[in-house]
């Protein structure tokens, strides 16, 4: 297509085309390295995991469809984008919304505009009224464009992009819809005294008990966690339930990095009512692996696994009817305690949270969390 999409436009060597072959998919994946490879804070994903996520056999695509677009200039890839129609999201949220994700682009406004034009045209052809992103490919995976906090690398399953990306996207006419926050707690963190009395009283309540996940119970506990997470967040902006095959795949991929001290369920009178899943932040190792995990990657893991010094809260949810019984205080205190008192870890990142989720943001700030990153979801009406 013509890069401007307008009749009579000046001739350009820019082309945008759909990805059809295995070689083109490899080129699509490689764009991330060509754009961000020199940035010391960028963490390369594992190529085989990106390929699996984008492949038709990944369970996410059982109820979704996508189109991958590659922008080339002079035969060299300069940008990419994925247009998405998520039927599960549309049915759950009752909104004819498409999505875009996996966006990477050189500092090239013409290429960025052509990519968003292609994604918008694809969504419009499927009757969608708007598209938002970045979703890679939904809120259950990596989402959001970093707009504040470029000075440190991202935590596990959080995005990173060059500082000039927001201006590039906004230059294509997209506007902010929602911001997401990430909060940081450092080793040695002390819970404010004014909260400790209430927490100690709640922790003495015999009806409240905590059970940790083990490798043997991981599959069942991940299913339980996803069910509780859905009950806790089903009415929130952007939520999409995971299908059973996605849950199975999540359990399979968590097993190699699970720390049993960091995954737990809170019961009330024997009934599971709250969950927290923290993952060790393996991104320092991913940085060393540079997208590949073969024999050399295994050796690097063995040599450098002590570089894993942090954790990230990946799932955090409390059934709505139990939120006024002090469970948020107990849950947050427990997870901070199990990181702050663990010499293996130096920090905990809690994120992401919605900017207008005043209850959770206020709670994190009361506990002394410092907001250190902001991510943005952009919207384009079609």
Supply the CATH number for residue 175's domain. Answer: 3.40.630.30
- Is 242 contained in some domain? yes
Backbone angles phi, psi at 372, to 5 degrees: -120, -5
What is the pLDDT at residue 228? 85
What is the pLDDT at residue 193? 83
What is the pLDDT at residue 307? 87
Regarding whether 53 and 159 lie in a shared domain, the answer is yes
Regarding whether 176 and 70 lie in a shared domain, the answer is yes
CB 154 within 8 A of CB 372: no
- Is 259 contained in some domain? yes
- Is 54 contained in some domain? yes
Regarding whether 227 and 117 lie in a shared domain, the answer is no
- Is 9 contained in some domain? no
Low-confidence spans in the chain with pLDDT less than 50 = 1-10
Q: Which residues contact 62 (CB under 8 A, 6 or more apart)?
A: 243, 245
Q: Give the structural domain span for 216.
A: 184-374
Which of 159, 180, 201 is the C-terminal boundary of a domain? 180
Residue 19 tokens read as 């990805």
What is the pLDDT at residue 378? 98
Q: How many domains does the chain have?
A: 2
What is the pLDDT at residue 121? 98
- Is 304 contained in some domain? yes
Which of 145, 163, 180 is the C-terminal boundary of a domain? 180
Regarding whether 196 and 288 lie in a shared domain, the answer is yes
Q: How many helices (DSSP H) and strands (DSSP E) are in the chain?
A: 12, 15
Regarding whether 91 and 106 lie in a shared domain, the answer is yes
What is the pLDDT at residue 97? 97
Residue with tokens 């003495």: 204
What is the pLDDT at residue 296? 66
Task: Work out whether strand 175-186 and strand 347-354 pair parallel, antiparallel, or are unpaired.
Answer: antiparallel
Regarding whether 260 and 135 lie in a shared domain, the answer is no
Backbone angles phi, psi at 56, to 5 degrees: -65, -20
What is the pLDDT at residue 25? 97
Residues counted in the chain: 382
- Is 379 contained in some domain? no
Alpha-carbon span 249 to 83, nearest angstrom: 23
What is the pLDDT at residue 298? 62
Which of 134, 155, 180 is the C-terminal boundary of a domain? 180
What is the pLDDT at residue 5? 40
What is the pLDDT at residue 338? 74
Residue 11 tokens read as 């001739």
Q: What's the alpha-carbon Rg for the chain, to the nearest Å? A: 21
- Is 3 contained in some domain? no
């Amino acid at each position: 297509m013509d890069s401007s999409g307008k009749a009579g436009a000046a001739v350009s060597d820019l082309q945008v085309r759909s990805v059809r072959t295995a070689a083109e998919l490899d080129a699509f994946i490689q764009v991330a390295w060509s754009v961000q490879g020199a940035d010391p804070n960028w963490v390369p994903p594992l190529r085989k995991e990106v390929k699996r996520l984008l492949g038709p056999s990944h369970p996410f695509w059982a109820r979704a469809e996508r189109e991958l677009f590659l922008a080339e200039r002079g035969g060299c890839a300069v940008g990419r984008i994925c247009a998405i129609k998520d039927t599960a999201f549309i049915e759950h949220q009752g909104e004819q919304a498409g999505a875009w994700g996996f966006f990477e682009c050189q500092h090239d406004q013409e290429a960025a505009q052509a990519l968003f034009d292609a994604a918008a045209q694809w969504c419009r052809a499927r009757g969608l009224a708007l598209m938002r992103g970045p979703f890679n490919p939904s809120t259950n995976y990596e989402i959001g464009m970093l707009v504040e906090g470029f000075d440190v690398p991202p935590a596990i399953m959080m995005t990173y992009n060059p500082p000039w990306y927001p201006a590039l996207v906004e230059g294509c006419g997209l506007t902010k819809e929602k911001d997401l926050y990430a909060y940081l707690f450092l080793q040695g963190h002390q819970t404010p005294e004014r909260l400790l009395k209430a927490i100690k009283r709640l922790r003495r309540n015999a009806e409240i008990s905590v059970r940790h996940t083990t490798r043997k119970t991981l599959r069942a506990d991940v299913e339980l966690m996803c069910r509780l997470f859905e009950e806790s967040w089903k009415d929130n902006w952007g939520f999409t339930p995971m299908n059973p095959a996605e849950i199975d795949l999540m359990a399979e991929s968590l097993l190699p990095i699970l720390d049993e001290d960091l995954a737990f369920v809170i019961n009330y009178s024997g009934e599971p009512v709250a969950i927290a899943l923290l993952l060790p932040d393996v991104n320092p190792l991913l940085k060393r692996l540079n997208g590949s995990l073969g024999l050399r990657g295994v050796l690097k893991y063995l040599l450098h696994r002590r570089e894993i010094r942090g954790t990230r809260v990946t799932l955090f949810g409390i059934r709505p009817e139990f939120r006024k019984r002090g469970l948020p205080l107990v849950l947050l205190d427990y997870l901070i305690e199990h990181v702050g008192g663990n010499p293996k870890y130096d920090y905990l990142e809690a994120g992401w949270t919605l900017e207008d989720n005043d209850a959770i943001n206020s709670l994190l700030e009361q506990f002394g969390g410092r907001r250190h990153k902001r991510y943005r979801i952009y919207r384009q009406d079609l």
